A and B are shown apart, each in its own frame.
Chain A
Amino acid sequence: MRFFHTADLHLAKPFGRFDADTQAALRTARLDALRRLGDAARAGKAEFILIAGDTFDAEAPPSKVVRRALDVMGDYPDLQWILMPGNHDSLAAVDLWERIERDKPENVILALTPEVIEIGDHVAILPAPPSVRNPGVDLTDWMTDALTSKRFRIGLAHGGILDFGSEEGTVAVIRPDRAELSNLDYLALGDWHGQKSITPRTWYSGSPEADSFKGHAEAGALLVEITAPGDVPQVTPVPIGQFDWRLLALDFFAGTDPVQQLTEALPASDRDKTIVRFEATGRLGLLEQSQLRDTCKQIADDFHYFEAIFDRLGIEQAVDDLDLIATGGALRAAADSLFEATDLQGRTAEDVQIAQIALTHLFHISQQEPSQ
């Protein structure tokens, strides 16, 4: 028996920090992920697809998005899509689930109550739909006593595991040994956006399309195969995501080539599908900083989105750098006094940051106005 396990599509997520183009691309990618899931499920000969919550990012997403998602699912009539609410689209979103109930195609099954859902004559889905955003209790308790005859017992839940935590830091209440305790063949979990195996029978599928710089593994879904009830499932991650979210937190120190360091850290291919947040830390000389900034400007357009943060990058004292501004005279005197102001001793971090910006700027302008 084979099925696909996914969760946390967060359809209609706005991505407000990004420019309009990126926002649109990221939103579209999440809807496309649904179709790629269908394709992957077909390719993997899965009987059904479990979506373990947070299909939608909000309790009342735009009806067009809901319609579009249902249409995609309807385009795969040979697959059954089992949708369960998550914390973002919990049962409190009465209207949403009513609408889905009303508009869904036949191959979409809603898991809205903690009752056994029978798939064919051999699978029993045991859902634990969140009644509200933070139920605060382990909704999977009921699975232990659920009667399923000789069917495969597949648990479906959304939320944090007790000793692991949740994606958004909400209260984690699901027991990590739920699958074993309730005699489940597999417990399909949602909430954590990266793929995680809690036990051989308990998995977070992660989001099929990445949505943050949290550094999760490659976004995708899980193809689960169980030979017979009681057997340990074979779980295979299947890449689904389009966009690669990279958080580059690079620590620099004087004497290294920051440009080379950055270049090596950046992906060489598929840059147009890469979202980059580059956070520079450590200390660099003025010249190196200037070169690093220039490099960032040059390569920014290679990526779908590139953001560079230099707020925590300090200035390494180097007489050579100040000589590049001026070897003497008033200009050098100004540079010297500014450099003094970059010392944290007796100053606030913000004052030091201001002095660093000022000195960096002086350096930058002075290079445009070379001495004669």
Chain B
Amino acid sequence: MKLRQLELTNVRRFGGQKAQLGPFGDGLTTITAENEAGKSTFFDALHALFFVPHGSSSQEVKNLQPYSGGAASVAAVVEIDGKEFRVEKSFLVQKSARVIDCGSGQVIKQQGDAEAWIEENINKVNKGPAGLLWVRQGATHVDPEGKDKDASNVAARRDLMSSVRGQIDAVTGGRRMDKIVEQCRKELDALATKSLKAKAGSPWKTIEDSIDELLQRKERLEADVKVLSDALATKRQAKLRLRALHDPQKQEARIQELNLAEEAYQMAQQHDRNVTDADKALQLIVAEKNQLIRQVKDITDTQERRQQLVDEITLREEQTSDLRAVQLKSDTALADVKAVIAQKETERRDLVQSLSAARAAEKSLQKWERMRVLADLISQLSVPQTKLRDADVILERAEITQIDLDHLVDLGRRISVAHEQRHAQFAKFSVQPSTAGTAECDGVALEPEKEALIDRPLTLKLSGYGAVNLTPAAGAGAGIEDPDALEADQAAALQAFGVQSVQDARSAFNARQGATNDKTVALAEIRGLAPDGIEALDEEWKALCNELGHSPADQPPGPASSENVDLSAVQIEEQISVIDDDLEDLRSSIQPLQTVATQAANDVAEATGVLNHLLEEKILLAKPQGEDAALAALQTSRDEEIEKEEKAAQTLVDLKANAPDLDMARSTHERLLSAEKADRDEVNKLERELARVDGAIETQSEGAVEEKLAEVTDQLEKASERAKRYELQAKALNMLIAHLDEARKDAQETYFEPIRNELRPLLAQLHAGADFELDPEKMLVGKIIRNGVEDDINVLSGGAYEQIAILTRLAFAKLFAKQGRQVPLILDDALVHTDDERISTMFNMLSHAAKDQQIIVLSCRTRAFSDLGGTRAFIETEAV
């Protein structure tokens, strides 16, 4: 089919007008017009003409009607198999459809027949909207309906591909395959998640949830059944036990046994009391007997004691007397020794006093002797002391050393030499005194006739004469010391040494030498006499003088006499030592004596005490009247009690020998009482236990827990089976889908081969080396691979996107053409993003394709598309 011309009457913006668009050539036709010029109106109307029945009141048709209303008419001239037909439809008002043979001008089909003709010759032949390949701005679809019609577009493409391959079902399964896969996916999606787990809301999930719930219920019910079972077991045991406890035979036997035990126990208690009483009686008899024995014994003991006292007192008196004699003797010996000691101590005190006096006298004599020695030494010291003072006087003068002395002598020599050399070298003059006049030299009057040297320029004033200038000869005086200066030095040195002349200085030097020697000698003498120094000697002297009351200025008396001393201190000390030895011996002997005396005194005191005590006891134990009679009576009574005791003891032995075992009787009685009480307690406990388990049993019983558990167990089993079936079903669906997908993918590889072959060279012109993948769902390019980088078609730039969309349509158009089906390719503002370089390439490809393909290009880019070439078509309008 080829489209030749479109004509609209009273359609949308062309209300009240007839608008024509055409003619469309065999190849490329371009229509460039500004936006809102009505391009889209033409092709919306064209779609309605081909695909909407003329009787339709759909929104698509209503959209064609202008605001002014009225019938909207659309007509197209198409060429089919070399013949042109005009297809007309009038919508909404005066609805009609017609097909006119342009060759004859005759209406060949009307109304329904016309619709059938369109379906048969345009739509069906071309398998639906594939009759037009339409690319609008931003769209990638075959027809102008956009994405919402994608399914039908896909079908159209698939139809094309199928027609190219010839065996659609043989290759891909076609729409049947799609439906089966879709149904499987829908079923799987409704049943399971992608990981083949039960999906929320699915019956499988419901079953799984119910399994969880049943498991929980089962667990609870099992616990309840366990409670019930335990309670029933407890109750049964309790009942059995109660039955045993309530056994009448056992109870009767228990009572009988208890009565016997109680009787035996009472008898044993009574017997025990009898034994106790017998024992107490025996104890009383024994006590009475013992009392009597003690009383008899007391009396006999007293009598015996009384006799013993007589002997003891006699003996004690003798002993006391002896002890007193010993005491007296020892006291006497002690007193004697003490007297001797007192005498010795007196003697010693006297000797000590004598010793002090003797020692004082000896010390005084020693001091006087020392004084005399000191006086002698002081006397001897006066000579060197005098020498020392004299030497010090000399040595206190200015010291003239040998060097000093040599220096003075040298100065005298040099002065003499200087004077002699001056006299020798300098001219001399003298004046002869005149009475009339005076002579002065440099203002000093000259002594007459005294030779004066002309040792410097001199002005000699001679009174009455004038002045005479005297000048020494040149070079005179050279090398001569100044005698005046030397003399001045000499004078100064002498003055420093305190002497008048060199001779004095020599004498002073010699004197000093002598004094030094004297001083050395004197000091040696002094040290010999007073090694500690004269001052120490003087101090000792003064101290002794003061001690002995002697005037220091006086000479000490002569040597003292020792005739007036009786004994020397040594002798006295010897005597004292003898006395001390005696005293020590005496004192050592006094302690034993003292001990003996003390012991004797104590012995006497003790013996006296004992004796007194015995005497007192004797008085106390004096024999009372009737003592013997009383003793006899007591002895009789005692013997009687002894007899009683023997009888009572025998009675007790007999009782004990026949006594029942009280502890055993008591234990038996207590045991039986305890057992009876334990039975009662157990009965009470069991009855309480029964009451408790009855409650539990009733609760669980009314809850029908066993039945519910059995029911839940059955339900769980059933549900598990069902869940397993769902799981298998999900796996089966998944497996089915996988097998279907795999089979279809394999088929598509073959299926897409024709379109690949067409598209590949087209794309190569635009993107050299680029490859692509076809989307099996959309049957369009899904991805493009450039330089190894794979891009989804949707993320490409607008330019690349629209270029590939157009090339894909071109490829499809080529396939159609190869089938002998001319399908118009309409590009409605389809190249708006493409840059200049690529738009030129696209123009070339479109021009090339247009050689055997009708292509209609609409664009608002008038200037850019002026280079596209081909036939130019225009919209022309006229009023109707």
- Interface residue ranges, A against B (CB under 8 Å): 12-18, 23, 57-63, 91-96, 326, 328-331, 333-334, 337-338, 341, 350, 353-359, 361-362, 365-366, 369-372
Contacts and interface: CB of A to CB of B under 8 A. Distances in A.
A13 B710 contact: yes
A248 B747 CA distance: 45
Tier of interface size on chain B: 35 or more
Contacts of A17: 714-715, 717-718
23 contacts: A14-B707, A14-B708, A16-B714, A57-B706, A58-B704, A60-B228, A60-B701, A62-B704, A92-B236, A95-B232, A95-B694, A95-B697, A95-B701, A326-B169, A328-B169, A329-B171, A331-B169, A334-B739, A334-B743, A361-B733, A365-B183, A366-B176, A369-B183
Interface of B is mostly: helix
A334 B732 CA distance: 13
B264 interface: no
> A-B pairs with the 9 shortest C-beta distances?
A16-B714, A14-B711, A16-B711, A58-B706, A357-B732, A60-B701, A334-B743, A333-B743, A358-B732
Contacts of B735: 338, 341, 354-355, 358
Contacts of A333: 743, 746-747
A369 B704 CA distance: 52
Given A18-B714, A326-B173, A330-B744, 8 more contacts: A61-B704, A62-B701, A62-B702, A328-B170, A329-B747, A331-B740, A361-B729, A372-B176
Given A331-B176, A371-B176, A362 B736 contact: yes
Nearest to B214: A16
A187 to B, nearest CB: 27
Given A92-B232, A95-B235, A330-B173, A16 B712 contact: yes
B303 interface: no
Contacts of B700: 60
Contact of B714 (A14, A63, A358): A14
A218 B366 CA distance: 170
Most central of B172, B236, B742, B744 by chain A CB within 10 Å = B236
A260 to B, nearest CB: 27
B184 interface: yes
B771 to A, nearest CB: 24
Contacts of B715: 16-17
A357 B730 CA distance: 10
A59 B229 contact: yes
Nearest to A338: B739
Contacts of A95: 232, 235, 694, 697-698, 701
A62 B700 CA distance: 9
Contacts of B170: 328-329
A96 B179 CA distance: 63
A195 B712 CA distance: 29
A61 B708 CA distance: 10
A338 B167 contact: no
Interface in B689-731: 694, 697-698, 700-702, 704-708, 710-715, 717-718, 728-729, 731
B786 to A, nearest CB: 31
B707 A13 contact: yes
B101 to A, nearest CB: 34
A107 B743 CA distance: 77
Nearest to A328: B170
B233 A92 contact: yes
Nearest to B747: A330
A60 B184 contact: no
A207 B27 CA distance: 93
Given A92-B233, A358-B739, A16 B176 contact: no
A94 B702 contact: no
B239 interface: yes
Contacts of B239: 94
B177 interface: yes
B169 A369 contact: no
B445 interface: no
Given A13-B710, A14-B714, A365-B183, A60 B743 contact: no
Contacts of A63: 701-702
B92 to A, nearest CB: 36
A95 B228 CA distance: 10
B180 interface: yes
Interface string B176-214: 110110011000000000000000000000000000000
A12 B711 CA distance: 10
A342 B194 CA distance: 24
A354 B728 contact: yes
A358 B736 contact: yes
Contacts of A57: 706-707, 710
Contacts of B236: 91-92, 94
Contacts of A371: 169, 176
A372 B396 CA distance: 169
B164 to A, nearest CB: 15
A150 B760 CA distance: 112
A12 B704 contact: yes
B710 A16 contact: yes
A365 B701 contact: no
A330 B743 contact: yes
Most central of B233, B711, B712 by chain A CB within 10 Å = B711
Contact of B743 (A58, A94, A331, A369): A331
B728 A94 contact: no
A41 to B, nearest CB: 27
Contacts of A362: 180, 736, 740
A61 B697 CA distance: 10
A234 to B, nearest CB: 37
Nearest to A337: B739
A357 B184 CA distance: 12
A151 B710 CA distance: 42
A60 B169 contact: no
A218 to B, nearest CB: 24
Contacts of A96: 701
Nearest to A95: B697
B705 A357 contact: no
B649 to A, nearest CB: 68
B176 A60 contact: no
A60 B473 CA distance: 181
A59 B180 contact: no
Nearest to B707: A14
Most central of B167, B697, B713, B729 by chain A CB within 10 Å = B697
A323 to B, nearest CB: 13
Contacts of A356: 732
Contacts of A58: 704, 706-707, 710
A308 to B, nearest CB: 12
Contacts of A61: 701, 704, 706-707
A354 B731 contact: yes
Contact of A366 (B180, B694, B701): B180
A92 B234 CA distance: 10
B180 A365 contact: yes
Contacts of B744: 330, 334
B710 A14 contact: yes
Most central of A61, A330, A356 by chain B CB within 10 Å = A330
Contact of B732 (A13, A93, A354): A354
A333 B740 CA distance: 8
B502 to A, nearest CB: 157
A350 B729 CA distance: 11
Contacts of A359: 736
